[in-house]
Amino acid sequence: MYSVFDYGSMIADPRAEYYAEALRRTVRPGSVVVDLGAGTGIWSAFACTLGARRVYAIEPDDVIGVAIDMAAANGFDNRITFLQRDSMKVAIDEPADVVVADVRGVLPCAGTGLAAMIDARRFLAPGGVLVPMRDTLWVSVVEAPGAHDATVVPWESRVFGLDFGAARRAAVNVWRKARFAPADLITPPAIWADLDYRDLSSPSVMGEVRLVADRPGLAHGLAVWFESDLTAGVRMSNRPGGRELIYGQAFFPWPSPVSVEAGDAIAVKMRATFSGAEYLFGWDSVVATPGAPEARARFAQSTFDGTPLSLARVRAQGGDAVVTPGPDSEIDRFVLNASDGVRSQRDVAAALRERFPGRFASDAEALARVVGVGRRAVADGGQVVFPD
């Protein structure tokens, strides 16, 4: 969920220039374009300036209201069809010549982005173009004392004389956005995954690389970034030392720094496992000196170990768990059953207060709950009808 300020930062970022150039090279007069994750509708409107005949702007968030107003202000409202839904639950009336999407975060493995890119191929006409068409993921061992200290030092200080070891163990299993210079890299980078959206089959990503230190240093973890081929001849990257983009790079910390010498080998396994709406990352690292009988360090890390979970929640995720819905689920079920396409939300709210006496302090509170459930239902493909 982004604010309008966030969208402003994105359009002011140099990344927008790369996307604009990719659209200049792919959108032709008469093109049909799908703007996937349209946000404030910048690329929808820009496609119209390039001659697109029809644009389908797909955006599940309420920011689509800004996109609708902007289209009207620029005279494009009769050429843009706005769809406030998850793109994977949308059908369009005609095949698209171009699908444009910027649904990544610091890495392409973010939210449902890769799943949406795979699904987006069904919108395309034969010979249609995806923007981006490919992302390549790179990794290097990095010397990053500042980023590592920010991760672990708060939990090592024994504030108030307390032991925060449990929090430290969780903290080193969480990756974060950072910015690195080329001089911070201890190994030449290597590709650990190649995501060609024209034939990518799974949103889960994994790869193994062998990195070799080309200088001595104190290694603190892994730097990861992407290189994106938006279309033929337009390449964008958030690599260290490249043009600074809003994304930064990703820092995957090691539990403790490791001193390495030139020639030391670091075997790395990276995993980004898609779990419905988010990613579970894993990174295993083995640091070894060639010819030495023992590895200098071994780390097996996962964001699962960095995510605080109660025992009850862990048990509920098991396939054999038996779950009894709580009172909030009962309320939502009642609202959905009562929303029959005839009764207004005020009528449903009145029935809700009657069914659950004492649960809502006022009509306004009950109505707010009904509206919230209704918004989720609409996002899932439900319809809104206003009586005459």
CA distances from 290 to 187, 213, 296 (A): 15, 12, 11
CA distances from 312 to 168, 309, 316, 323, 372 (A): 23, 8, 6, 10, 26
What is the side-by-side order of every strand in the sheet holding 265-274? 205-212, 265-274, 279-288, 297-302
- pLDDT tens digits for range 301-318: 999 998 776 555 555 555
Instruction: Name the amino acid, one letter, at 331.
Output: I
Q: What is the DSSP letter of 185?
A: B
CB 41 within 8 A of CB 73: no
Write out the H or E segment, with its range, that includes residue 7. Answer: helix 4-12
CA distances from 258 to 264, 288, 294 (A): 11, 11, 14
pLDDT at 13: 86
CB 341 within 8 A of CB 385: yes
CA distances from 43 to 23, 83, 125, 234 (A): 8, 15, 19, 16
> 205: which strand partners?
272
pLDDT at 385: 59
pLDDT under 50: residue ranges of the chain = none
100 by DSSP, 3-state: which? strand
Number of Cβ within a 10 Å radius of residue 282: 19
CB 185 within 8 A of CB 212: no
pLDDT at 275: 85
Q: What is the pTM of this model?
A: 0.84
